[in-house]
Structure 1
């Protein structure tokens, strides 16, 4: 039999440099390699290939999935990638057919020159990992290239509920925290004294007000979160009664301003499982519009927390709600048994459906660490990064734990 040479991939940067990793023979490379970015398949316009022992991958596809700006100069046959991170900007320029690239103006040699294959610019995978800090590994048995995206600065939102005090020290790490201390009661009235979402009692010097004040002082925006699951039609009653609705809005805004909150988070669930879904959407749009009209003059921001569009509840008009609120949280969880990680394909679909109606800079991916663990949480964060969403929202403090927090810190700046 004809002997097949082994190929080499390069792994992520380590303290001592790069670790060489084997790749499959050239005959097997084209058409059979799977590329996984943060644990989920990455579509490619052209299959990875091998040239002179070097694995070549589509430059633009990986770059844009990692949030790297890519520009093409047709005349000069040059592609320029600009990545801005915590350590500053890095500008990489490559020219088709040339084994010399520039990194922030300095020349760097390539093992193989960039090539145009079926209209796609292909570059050495090892060079990409080195210059942009992406981790790379190779599984010979499954012929899978795995890419781990570098840490990125995203907007981070944390939810704080009744049993969250054990992780109160994490509050300053978030850009915003939503305090779940209020809801609609069974009659549709706004309340802070229910059996599941209530205003906490003071414990010595620690009061709800002091927690909110300390969050704001640390640069974390505190939001008053209002909950309803509509299990007793409490939300429906509010939507159908203009007088009750106006009282509710007035009470929410008054409490938020009185207690020093900087925004309101609406977690009003359960709409559109049955009945006239368009009517319910219109009613909820009106509620949010009326709330925004009172909240904004009071200096309060507004976040609306929504079931995913590929879930069971169809009473939410993402497009209109995005025009009324500052941002939307996609609760991309509870698809299945919440005792195990959410299916990535469903989370991916939920994001893509939302992006059909809403700009990515208004979308925040909700992640429940009740479902996720240290082995799965970064795959969900990776999808938020891949699609360039505004950020992530973590349900909830008190459930995170050190192992999950450590992994999250590798993917997003906290």
Structure 2
């Protein structure tokens, strides 16, 4: 995202706050065209329009503030807004009063370019105010009359999928909180295996073995998960979920593989449910399987599920129940582009945004939701859009498919991710 810089950083100064009472109003405001505001390249919707008055750009307060994770309170008696947020682990408190040309930042008075104002029951803040308080980079595009905000780096849980092709990028494991090793699947005959064609334990290379890679991650307090892949392309996954013998055998295979190889968790990547067959029945089958697997796993082994987004064609996933059973859900918010689309064509931000909202509305707690990001679909200038959405909704974190793609297309992807998020 390239924008003409408006200042080094901008703040909570760009937030929308519903207020009661009366206060000074903006004077004569310039007419259209309207001003739009984007946070991490995704548009924000306001119930009071941003505007320009005497050369000063004003933006409503609460919408952006909440999207930035800033806590906002309003004192109607004193007409004062309190905004509290964190920048690089340090708490910043800003007090703003409608009509006052100064603010209090961490107890110290700071002069403003223009006082906050109230219009139509909303407090609006000069965009240039508090340019460094909350670390939000600001840009202005005069041609499109667009304010572009880039959220500051934030700590969150980061997970990467480690496939057979990820060995050369294994140094990146250190930058993650957890890693899901894609080395197993339930095959087309309904059998759990670590020796499949696409998903299998990699061959040892001297002293480097699959077990040593897993152990090294665990020693660094990076939780190693075993990813178990299965596909219902021709009903084979449904067959396993429906057959008590196959179900029990696969669960025994998973628990044995976890114990034998030192994994600290399991990620189920069961795909294709609810596309051809009855969605409600498949939801129940999957719920029952997850309950049975959870009961079979030791209590210290984490359980995660990678699930398609609710705005996809796959409806066989009961998000609320699965979230209640698992430690977290990874929402695979990608593959929206038509089949055959070339690599590095970014997924539509609007659909990813919708997928997150639908997951939260379905009853998944935000602290249990990771946004899945396919690095094959993104570029160094689009991946921060997706990470920005994870930050906007204060999700548990992000999960990257896959580790081996961080450097496949260019070296900018790694830097872009590191600029936006860092492991908690």
- The change in CA–CA distance for 1:128 and 1:279 in structure 2 (over 3 A counts) is farther
- CA distance in structure 2 between the partners assigned to 1:376 and 1:206 by the alignment: 35
CA contact (8 A) 1:178 1:222 kept: yes
C-alpha deviation, 1:71, in angstroms: 1.4
State the Cα deviation string for residues 348-376 of structure 1 (Å, max 9, x = none): 11111111011211111100011111121
C-alpha deviation, 1:26, in angstroms: 4.8
Structure 2 equivalent of residue 303 of structure 1? 304
Match of 2:82, SS state, is: strand
Q: Which runs of 4+ in 1 moved over 6 A?
A: none
Structure 2 equivalent of residue 70 of structure 1? 72
Structure 2 equivalent of residue 11 of structure 1? 7
CA contact (8 A) 2:86 2:134 kept: no
CA contact (8 A) 2:30 2:51 kept: no
CA RMSD of aligned residues (A): 1.8
Q: Which of these residues, 375, 378, 381, is aligned with residue 372 of structure 1?
A: 378
> For structure 1, which segment, 227-236 or 329-338, has the greater mean C-alpha deviation from structure 2 after superposition?
227-236
C-alpha deviation, 1:31, in angstroms: 6.2
C-alpha deviation, 1:9, in angstroms: 8.5
- CA distance in structure 1 between the partners assigned to 2:5 and 2:263 by the alignment: 51
Match of 1:153, SS state, is: strand
CA contact (8 A) 1:10 1:125 kept: no
Match of 2:405, SS state, is: coil
C-alpha deviation, 1:400, in angstroms: 1.0
CA contact (8 A) 1:9 1:54 kept: no
Q: Which of these residues, 341, 356, 359, is aligned with residue 354 of structure 1?
A: 359
- CA distance in structure 1 between the partners assigned to 2:323 and 2:96 by the alignment: 39
C-alpha deviation, 1:298, in angstroms: 3.9
Q: Kindly indicate whether residue 264 of structure 2 is the aligned counterpart of residue 258 of structure 1.
A: no
CA contact (8 A) 1:223 1:262 kept: yes
Q: Kindly indicate whether residue 276 of structure 2 is the aligned counterpart of residue 274 of structure 1.
A: yes
Match of 2:8, SS state, is: coil
TM-score under structure 1 normalisation?
A: 0.92
C-alpha deviation, 1:250, in angstroms: 1.9
Structure 1 equivalent of residue 19 of structure 2? none
> For structure 1, which segment, 120-129 or 102-111, has the greater mean C-alpha deviation from structure 2 after superposition?
120-129
Write out aligned runs for 1:223-234 (5 A). Answer: 223-234=225-236
Structure having the larger proportion of residues in helix = 1
State the Cα deviation string for residues 68-115 of structure 1 (Å, max 9, x = none): 111122222211111124341111111112112111111111121111
Structure 2 equivalent of residue 181 of structure 1? 183
- The change in CA–CA distance for 1:373 and 1:140 in structure 2 (over 3 A counts) is same
CA contact (8 A) 1:188 1:238 kept: yes
- CA distance in structure 1 between the partners assigned to 2:322 and 2:87 by the alignment: 31
Higher relative contact order (CA 8 A, sep 6+): 2
- CA distance in structure 1 between the partners assigned to 2:234 and 2:207 by the alignment: 37
CA contact (8 A) 2:9 2:138 kept: no
- The change in CA–CA distance for 1:253 and 1:129 in structure 2 (over 3 A counts) is farther
Across the two proteins, how many residue pairs are aligned to each other? 395
Match of 1:322, SS state, is: helix
C-alpha deviation, 1:270, in angstroms: 0.7
State the Cα deviation string for residues 235-292 of structure 1 (Å, max 9, x = none): 1111111121112112212211221111110101010102211001011111111111
TM-score under structure 2 normalisation?
A: 0.90
State the Cα deviation string for residues 24-47 of structure 1 (Å, max 9, x = none): x9524x661111111111111211
